[in-house]
């Protein structure tokens, strides 16, 4: 019997020595504290996973579990539970199953532990996809958006979590880094901190001005207090007093309205938005910013269509701000990114088909002197100029119409050109008074910019050759002059209707109705 026992012990020792090399090969490439809880996952289970990012995640650690003894598992679960702070929906994550497995982790079988580990990785991969590039594809939603899909490598972002002590770094790599996205996230936190919204809609028959007495003023004061534009009052009355007018002006400014203190239809409409409606709007805009580029250039122009504003950003600072006029709702300014190629002083204007058909031809039919008064030359199919008297109305669309340089030119005295499939550009205007309007959705798609010569001087960046004085001399020649940009200047024409500024919520009118139905698409995806 002793001989038999000795023989068995020898067999076991030899067997252990033979397995040691293969066991060493199965150890993961990463450091995990307690290797007793690392469980090998059968390759057939890995191959059953359809997502290549998750397969690559486990292949990188030789098909072993990762989260079971990883100290960041708690952080990961906390991340999923707070996904709504990033504008995501908690329903999109397997929180109930995760909570159940975590609660019973000490009693789970090896198979159940493997399932739990894979479940955590799947949810992290889902989180990465939604936060880094968004849930929806704008190019399938809109015909006048031309954005390149962000070059995000989900596999790389997922594998970042395997690096030692890198949870926060990996998380930072996922989330958009632009200041506007951060302001949106702050706006979401601000609106979540507000109490329950319990107000009814306000309706007015006539405008309310300072010192008016109106029963609606009581409800308006309550709403202004709720949105923190008016300090809480001990008692409320129906008099539109000076302190309430000041609060109305503050509210109007936050909503991009004329800050005249007059309570009219537009102000009441903005006051009637509920907390939940505004929260949805913020979530929509967070999704929208995930569609925009992940990385911005050192210097670029950025236009927010609903805010009628162009900003020049250099090294993350705003160095210039210009008012702009953008396309009306029927002729929307497209959303796109491009690069400025050149500008033209004293530009001509070849009238595009839409404007020709809808505006120029109908007007010219009524006014025989239209072409002469507008300094427009008509060219036939042989590219020869014809006398307006010989203009054939029946063949009106077969001609080419070019407006000569000058003060009457619709493009003004300078235009900024950048490649895009919509043939739009930035330009001056011969109707500069419109920049005084609060609502500036007036163009046919192109963008008119205020103080364009100062912008040109800045962008050309050559004080000796291209200062304002010399630009004015060129303008007096009335001859078109092209100037190439020597430095790379990018332009981003975007659309967002909410953000926060110094702890204050900002909202703008959804001019093109891009917000309509988008929340439901996000929620139901």
pLDDT digits (tens, 9 = 90+) for 64-95: 999 998 889 999 999 999 999 999 999 999 99
Average pLDDT over residues 223-243: 96
Cα separation, 396 vs 414, whole angstroms = 28
* 8 Å CB contact between 251 and 227: yes
Q: Is residue 256 part of a domain?
A: no
pLDDT for 16: 38
Which of 173, 192, 210 marks a domain boundary? 173
Cα separation, 292 vs 8, whole angstroms = 68
Q: Is residue 190 part of a domain?
A: no
pLDDT digits (tens, 9 = 90+) for 163-210: 988 899 999 999 999 999 999 999 999 999 999 999 999 999 999 999
Coil vs helix vs strand at 128: helix
DSSP 211-228: T-B-THHHHHHHHHHHTT
pLDDT digits (tens, 9 = 90+) for 49-63: 999 999 999 999 999
Mean pLDDT score across all residues of the chain: 92
Q: Is residue 449 part of a domain?
A: yes
Domains contained in the chain, number: 2
The residue behind tokens 């891009």 is: 514
pLDDT for 350: 95
pLDDT for 164: 85
Q: Is residue 284 part of a domain?
A: no
Which runs of consecutive H residues, i.e. helices, occur in 398-517?
Answer: 452-460, 468-477
Q: Which residues are catalytic?
A: 427, 446
Average pLDDT over residues 155-162: 96
Q: Is residue 365 part of a domain?
A: yes
Report the range of poorest mean pLDDT among 11-25, 187-201, 338-352, 392-406.
Answer: 11-25
Q: Name the percent of the chain lying above pLDDT 70.
A: 93
pLDDT for 69: 86
pLDDT for 17: 41
Which of 173, 193, 221 marks a domain boundary? 173
Q: Is the pLDDT of residue 414 over 70?
A: yes
Average pLDDT over residues 422-446: 95
* 8 Å CB contact between 409 and 348: yes
Cα separation, 240 vs 211, whole angstroms = 5
The torsion angles phi and psi of 143, rounded to 5 degrees, stand at -85, -20
Q: Are residues 468 and 329 in the same domain?
A: yes
Q: Is residue 6 part of a domain?
A: no
Provide CB contacts within 8 A for 486, sequence distance 6+. Answer: 461
Burial letters for 305-344: b for 16+ Cβ neighbours within 10 Å, e otherwise? bbbbbbbbbeeeeeeeebbbbbbbeebbbbbbbbebeebb
pLDDT for 151: 85
Cα separation, 301 vs 490, whole angstroms = 6
pLDDT for 122: 97
The residue behind tokens 């309570």 is: 263
Confidence tier at 37 by pLDDT (50, 70, 90): confident
Q: Is the pLDDT of residue 45 over 80?
A: yes
Cα separation, 52 vs 58, whole angstroms = 10
pLDDT for 202: 97
Q: Is the pLDDT of residue 31 over 80?
A: no
Confidence tier at 421 by pLDDT (50, 70, 90): very high
Q: Name the percent of the chain lying above pLDDT 90.
A: 89
The torsion angles phi and psi of 37, rounded to 5 degrees, stand at -100, 5
**CATH code (residue 478):** 2.40.440.10
The residue behind tokens 């996952």 is: 41
Q: Are residues 158 and 301 in the same domain?
A: no
Average pLDDT over residues 393-407: 94
Which of 120, 155, 173 marks a domain boundary? 173
Confidence tier at 4 by pLDDT (50, 70, 90): very low
Average pLDDT over residues 219-244: 96
Residue 327 domain boundaries: 297-507
Q: Is the pLDDT of residue 3 over 70?
A: no
Cα separation, 476 vs 462, whole angstroms = 20
Cα separation, 143 vs 331, whole angstroms = 12
DSSP 395-459: GGGGSEEEEPSSTT-TTTTEEEE---TT---EE--S-GGGGG-S--EEESSSEEESSHHHHHHHH
Average pLDDT over residues 407-428: 96
Q: Is residue 161 part of a domain?
A: yes
* 8 Å CB contact between 267 and 217: no
pLDDT for 351: 94
Beta bridge partners of 263: 208
pLDDT digits (tens, 9 = 90+) for 9-27: 343 333 434 333 333 334 3
Nearest to 59 by CA among 38, 71, 73, 41: 41
β-pairing, 400-403 vs 349-350, is: antiparallel
Nearest to 426 by CA among 359, 360, 358, 341: 341
pLDDT for 13: 39
pLDDT for 306: 98
pLDDT for 515: 97
Q: Is residue 477 part of a domain?
A: yes
Residue 15, classified by CB atoms within 10 Å of its CB into exposed (0-12), middle (13-18) or buried (19+), is exposed
DSSP one-letter code for 105: G
Provide CB contacts within 8 A for 525, sequence distance 6+. Answer: 135, 136
Cα separation, 438 vs 506, whole angstroms = 15
Cα separation, 87 vs 468, whole angstroms = 46
The torsion angles phi and psi of 34, rounded to 5 degrees, stand at -110, 100
Average pLDDT over residues 448-460: 97
The torsion angles phi and psi of 347, rounded to 5 degrees, stand at -75, 150
Q: How far, in Å, are 94, 110, 324, 430, 472 from residue 414 at the CA level?
A: 56, 71, 14, 11, 11
pLDDT for 149: 83
Cα separation, 47 vs 523, whole angstroms = 31
Nearest to 39 by CA among 119, 117, 100: 117
Bigger pLDDT: 318 vs 21: 318
Coil vs helix vs strand at 179: helix
Beta bridge partners of 322: 310
Which runs of consecutive H residues, i.e. helices, occur in 49-94?
Answer: 52-59, 73-81
Bigger pLDDT: 14 vs 352: 352
Bigger pLDDT: 421 vs 14: 421
User: Residue 367 corresponds to which tokens in the numbers above?
Assistant: 């006014």
Confidence tier at 304 by pLDDT (50, 70, 90): very high
pLDDT for 1: 42
Average pLDDT over residues 392-396: 92
DSSP one-letter code for 37: G
Coil vs helix vs strand at 521: helix
Q: Which helix (H) or strand (E) holds 277?
A: helix 275-291
How far the first Cα of the chain sits from its last, in Å, is 70
């Amino acid at each position: 019997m002793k001989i038999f026992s000795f023989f068995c012990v020898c067999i076991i020792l030899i067997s252990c020595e033979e397995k040691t090399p293969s066991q060493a090969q199965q150890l993961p490439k990463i450091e995990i504290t307690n290797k007793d809880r690392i469980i090998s996952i059968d390759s057939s289970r890995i191959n059953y996973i359809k997502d290549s990012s998750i397969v690559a995640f486990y292949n990188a650690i030789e098909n072993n579990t990762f989260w079971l003894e990883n100290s960041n598992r708690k952080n990961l679960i906390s991340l999923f539970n707070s996904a709504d702070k990033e504008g995501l929906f908690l329903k999109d994550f397997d929180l109930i199953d995760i909570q159940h497995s975590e609660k019973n982790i000490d009693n789970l079988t090896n198979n159940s532990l493997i399932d739990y580990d894979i479940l955590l990785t799947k949810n992290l991969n889902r989180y990465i996809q939604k936060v880094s590039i968004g849930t929806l594809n704008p190019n399938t939603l809109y015909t006048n958006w031309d954005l390149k899909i962000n070059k995000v490598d989900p596999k790389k972002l997922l594998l970042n979590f395997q690096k030692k002590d890198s949870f926060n770094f990996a998380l930072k790599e996922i989330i958009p880094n632009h200041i506007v996205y951060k302001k949106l996230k702050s706006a979401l936190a601000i609106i979540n901190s507000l109490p329950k919204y319990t107000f009814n809609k306000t309706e007015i028959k006539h405008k309310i001005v300072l010192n008016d007495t109106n029963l609606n003023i009581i409800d308006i004061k309550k709403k202004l207090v709720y949105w923190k534009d008016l300090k809480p009052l001990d008692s409320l009355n129906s008099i539109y007093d000076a302190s309430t007018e000041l609060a109305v002006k503050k509210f109007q400014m936050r909503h991009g309205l004329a800050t005249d203190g007059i309570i009219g239809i537009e102000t009441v409409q903005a006051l009637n938005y509920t907390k939940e409606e505004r929260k949805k709007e913020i979530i929509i805009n967070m999704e929208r910013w995930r569609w925009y580029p992940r990385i911005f250039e050192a210097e670029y122009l950025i236009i927010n269509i609903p805010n009628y504003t162009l900003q020049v950003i250099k090294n993350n600072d705003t160095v210039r701000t210009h008012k702009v006029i953008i396309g009306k709702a029927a002729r929307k300014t497209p959303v796109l990114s491009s690069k400025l190629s050149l500008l033209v002083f004293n530009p001509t204007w070849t009238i595009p088909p839409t404007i020709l058909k809808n505006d120029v031809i109908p007007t010219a039919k009524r006014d025989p002197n239209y072409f002469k008064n507008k300094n427009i030359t008509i060219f036939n199919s042989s590219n020869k100029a014809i006398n307006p008297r010989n203009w054939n109305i029946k063949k009106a669309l077969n001609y080419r119409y070019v407006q000569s340089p000058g003060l009457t030119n619709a493009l003004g005295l300078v235009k900024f050109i950048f490649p895009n499939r919509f043939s739009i550009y930035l330009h001056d205007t011969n109707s500069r008074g419109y920049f005084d309007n609060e609502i500036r959705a007036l163009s046919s798609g192109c963008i008119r910019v205020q103080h364009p010569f100062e912008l040109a001087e800045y962008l050309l960046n050559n004080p000796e050759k291209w200062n304002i004085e010399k630009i004015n001399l060129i303008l007096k020649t009335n001859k078109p002059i092209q100037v190439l940009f020597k430095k790379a200047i990018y332009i981003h024409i975007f659309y967002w209707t909410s953000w926060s500024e110094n702890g204050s919520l900002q909202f703008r009118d959804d001019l093109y109705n891009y917000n309509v139905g988008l929340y439901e698409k996000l929620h139901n995806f």
